[in-house]
Amino acid sequence: MVPEQEVKAALERVLSSDNFVNAARQSAFLRFVVERTIGGDGAQLKEYLLGVEIFGRGQDFDPRLDPVVRVEARRLRAKFQEYYEGAGRAEAVRIVIRKGGYVPTFARAEEDRTAQIVPTRRPSSVWIAAACLVITGLALWLGGNPSRNTFRSW
């Protein structure tokens, strides 16, 4: 668990970075969710609340029809990636907002690196297509030429 003061200091470093200094919407989003989470209200961070409180949508805001929160969350995650790959590379404390949610988590950089999921390697679609072509060619070659058929009728 990362102490509150370290999280607040990390938040201020992120917000004062070149990545965020001119990104008012993402900065407001980030400050709101971090402060609410530190204050113990992380469970309340739902799309409707964020749309109304951060982005000024009215009480009739319908997150299913207006994607502003999802769009800004995606942009925020992209800014985080830029920051932690660049100026924030040496940050000891990382703020992470995982895809599919809006509640940030706070971790030491070494903890965050070990928690990342390593994607499984899948066969390339080019190799799959090539294998299908080879199999199809073999089937046509063997099936279409009776002289190559080893199971001749007697």
Asked if residue 95 lies in contact with residue 29, where contact means CB atoms within 8 angstroms, the answer is: no
Condensed to tens digits (0 to 9), the pLDDT of residues 81-93 reads 999 999 999 999 9
Q: Is residue 140 part of a domain?
A: no
**Residuewise pLDDT in 10s, the chain (154 residues):** 889 999 999 999 999 999 999 999 999 999 999 999 999 999 999 999 999 999 999 999 999 999 999 999 999 999 999 999 999 999 999 999 999 899 999 999 875 554 443 344 455 666 677 776 777 776 776 666 555 555 555 4
The size of the chain, in residues, is 154
Report pLDDT for 44.
92
User: What predicted TM-score, i.e. pTM, was given to this entire model?
Assistant: 0.69
37, part of any domain: yes
Q: If DSSP codes are grouped into helix, strand and coil, which group holds residue 2?
A: coil
Q: Quote the domain boundaries for residue 28.
A: 4-115
Query: Does residue 15 fall inside a structural domain?
Result: yes
Domain assignment present for 122: no
Structural domain total, the chain: 1
Note whether residue 121 is domain-resident: no
Measured distance CA(116)–CA(39) in Å, rounded = 26
Q: In this predicted structure, what is the pLDDT of residue 1?
A: 83
Residue 154: inside a domain: no
Query: What confidence tens digit (pLDDT) does each residue in 33-55 have?
Result: 999 999 999 999 999 999 999 99
All residues at 6 or more sequence positions from 33 whose CB lies less than 8 Å from its CB, including other chains: 42, 45, 50, 97, 102, 103, 104
Asked if the structure places residue 84 within a domain, the reply is: yes
List of E strands, 42-127: 93-96, 105-108
Residue 134 lies inside a defined structural domain of this protein = no
